Structure 1
Amino acid sequence: MGYKIGLVEDDKNIQNIVRAYLEKEGYEVTVVASGEEGWEVWENNPPDMWILDIMLPGMDGYEFCKRIRAESEVPIIIISAKDDEIDKILGLELGGDDYLTKPFSPRELVARVKRLFKRTVPQRQTKQQNLERMKVGELLIYLDERRIFWKGEEFEVTTKEYDMLLLLAQNPNRAFSREELLLNIWGNDYFGSDRAVDDLVKRIRKKLPDIPLETVWGFGYRLRKDEE
Structure 2
Amino acid sequence: MTNHIGVVEDDANIQNIVSAYLKKEGFYVTVMDSAEKAWELWETRQPDMWLLDIMLPGMDGYEFCKKIRQESDVPIIIISAKDDEIDKILGLELGGDDYLTKPFSPRELVARVKRVLKRTSHSVQDTPHDRIKAGNLLIHENDRRIFWNGEEQDMTTKEFDMLLLLARNINRAFSREELLIKIWGEDYFGSDRAVDDLVKRLRKKLVDIPLETVWGYGYRLRGEEE
Match of residue 52 from structure 1:
52
Shift of 1:145: 3.7
Letter in 1 for 2:121: V
Letter in 2 for 1:44: T
Distance in 2 of aligned mates of 1:128 and 1:35: 33
Distance in 1 of aligned mates of 2:36 and 2:46: 14
Match of residue 86 from structure 1:
86
Distance in 2 of aligned mates of 1:38 and 1:127: 31
Shift of 1:8: 0.3
Counterparts of 1:112-191 in structure 2 under 5 Å? 112-123=112-123, 129=143, 144-145=152-153
Give the SS at the match of 1:71. coil
Closer, same or farther: CA 82–2 of 1 in aligned 2, 3 Å: same
The alignment's TM-score, normalised by the length of structure 1, stands at: 0.55
Shift of 1:70: 1.2
Match of residue 14 from structure 2:
14
Match of residue 23 from structure 2:
23
Letter in 2 for 1:56: L
Distance in 1 of aligned mates of 2:142 and 2:59: 28
Distance in 2 of aligned mates of 1:64 and 1:11: 17
Closer, same or farther: CA 146–53 of 1 in aligned 2, 3 Å: closer
Deviations 1:80-122 (A, max 9, x none): 0000111000000000010000000000000000101111013
Q: Percent identity?
A: 72
Cα-Cα RMSD: 2.4
How many residue pairs get matched? 136
Deviations 1:169-194 (A, max 9, x none): xxxxxxxxxxxxxxxxxxxxxxxxxx
Give the SS at the match of 2:99. strand
Letter in 2 for 1:112: R
The alignment's TM-score, normalised by the length of structure 2, stands at: 0.56
Letter in 2 for 1:103: P
Q: Which has the larger radius of gyration?
A: 1
Structure 1 runs of 4+ aligned residues shifted over 6 Å read: none
Segments of 5+ residues of structure 2 without an aligned counterpart are 124-139, 146-150, 156-226
Segments of 5+ residues of structure 1 without an aligned counterpart are 132-142, 148-228
